[in-house]
Amino acid sequence: MSTQKVVELPRRTVSSVSPLTGELLREFEQHSDDAVENKIALAAKTFRDYRKVSFAQRAAMMKRAAEILENEKDTLGRMMTQEMGKTLKSAVQEADKCAVGCRFYAENAERFLADEEAKTNAARSFVRYQPLGPVLAVMPWNFPFWQVFRFAAPALMAGNVGLLKHASNVPQCALAIEDIFRRAGFPEGAFQTLLIGPDRVNKIIADRRITAVTLTGSVGAGSSVATAAGKAIKKCVLELGGSDPFIVMPSADLDKAVETAVQARVINNGQSCIAAKRFIVHQQIAEQFEKKFVARMASLKVGDPMDAATDVGPLATEDVLKGLEQQVQKTIEVGARVLLGGKRIDRKGNFYAPTVLADIPQGSPAFDDELFGPVASLYRANDMSEAIEIANNSIFGLGACAWTNDAAERDLFINEIESGLAFINGMVASDARIPFGGVKHSGFGRELSHHGILEFVNVKSICIQEANGGKSRTE
């Protein structure tokens, strides 16, 4: 037997593999170093003119992108479903949501970035918002269109140009998005896809022509990108993982809370950063909640994501399936109780059974980590205060929701929960009109609303003195 160490080389292809059948759908050669260099050069060249394009012209192109998304949502939806396994109905909705995001920034960007008058000792002072240049976006597969559009729509409307390094398992979606912007009339070079692996990201961040980077993905990837951005002194936005709490108090409408809890856990086959993952229920109603919740989780239809009746499709990749399997297994080994599921489904494809765990020990993967799949963790609390304490005992702080009709509990939750989004009696969701992002290991910076478009602009302060020599220094 050879003792020689096998060195694993980075893959030189990016592939679409069906999560339903394991079949290789398409394979693409990674872009060579020369091709990447040409794309960065084109981005920098395009930016020099594109930054001067009027808001009205940019808006017209962004609205055309919205029309393409709406007109082609069925085809685009099928592509997403084939490539990463989300249900077709949710994929079609995702294309529609991207169109809404494009229109939102087409209609509001000029107002968000209008000059702002300020009062100083100068004759006139104001703030002008200007684009930064080529921005690199490193994106995940779970919402393969929405994650990209919620970066691209504000970035392009602000006058930046974008380079997308999408997740390696969704190259067809990545290329389709580039094509949509091109067909919408954006200049070649305004939005380009790089088919590359993660090992090539840091070199691009270090490139002087790249002005900023945004990453949506796992904590590990975020830490790596933030380190590279810090080293190169570049602006960086991170949208990372979450282990969102879903708190239920006795005054809540229990049936509505249960129905929403199930939906909030299995949305996107359980693979959403803002999916509810930890259900913290008041002792008084815990048994009732548990019974109803388990019954509803057991009734979910798992199957082909193209089928309109399917609630839960396959996980996106075999690695995601294996990772989830290990996390649940370890949690069970250290003492968690399985109320439902607890294993992969014995059939072709990356299927994991809807699962409910209780008595989760501290230090177990279900307690500490993010579970990306249809696995719910149940906890009990004696009051809202204790529920918040359990909720905050996490490295994450992305979304959170509380179900209560008690005003004092509501205020306590709003004030004390450590999260970027806090919803009452409803499911946490992204919406172009409100900022989206987290605290703690869920990242920093914000996407969406006017906050999102301000992340990648130079906030330039301008002071104009009277020509007859007014004082300029205010110290």
Binding site for ligand NAP (CB under 6 A): 138-142, 147, 165-168, 197-198, 201, 216-218, 221, 224-225, 239-242, 273, 370, 372, 398, 438, 442-443
Contacts of residue 449, Cβ cutoff 8 Å, sequence gap at least 6: 432, 433, 434, 435, 436
**Closer CB to ligand NAP, 205 or 252, in the complex:** 205
Range list of H helices, 184-253? 201-206, 219-231
Q: What angle do CA 243, 135, 16 make, to 5 degrees?
A: 60
**Closer CB to ligand NAP, 173 or 184, in the complex:** 173
Could you tell me the smallest distance in angstroms from the CB atom of residue 14 to ligand NAP?
7
The Cα–Cα gap between 110 and 132 comes to 16
Kindly list the distances between the CA atom of residue 428 and the CA atoms of 117, 206, 242, in Å, as whole numbers in the listed order.
36, 36, 12
**Closer CB to ligand NAP, 159 or 241, in the complex:** 241
**Closer CB to ligand NAP, 30 or 331, in the complex:** 30
Residues with a known catalytic role: 239, 273
Q: How many CB atoms lie within 10 A of CB 118?
A: 13
Could you tell me the smallest distance in angstroms from the CB atom of residue 217 to ligand NAP?
3
Could you tell me the smallest distance in angstroms from the CB atom of residue 399 to ligand NAP?
9
Could you tell me the smallest distance in angstroms from the CB atom of residue 191 to ligand NAP?
16
Closest listed residue to residue 61, CA positions, set 155, 149, 182: 182
Q: Which residue is nearest to ligand NAP (CB)?
A: 217
The Cα–Cα gap between 402 and 385 comes to 12
Asked if residues 149 and 184 have their Cβ atoms less than 8 Å apart, the reply is: no
Sign of CA dihedral 390, 392, 393, 399: positive
Helix (H) or strand (E) holding 17: strand 13-17
Could you tell me the smallest distance in angstroms from the CB atom of residue 229 to ligand NAP?
11
DSSP calls for 365-429: HHHHS---SSEEEEEEESSHHHHHHHHHSSSEESEEEEE---HHHHHHHHHH--SSEEEESS---
**Closer CB to ligand NAP, 65 or 398, in the complex:** 398
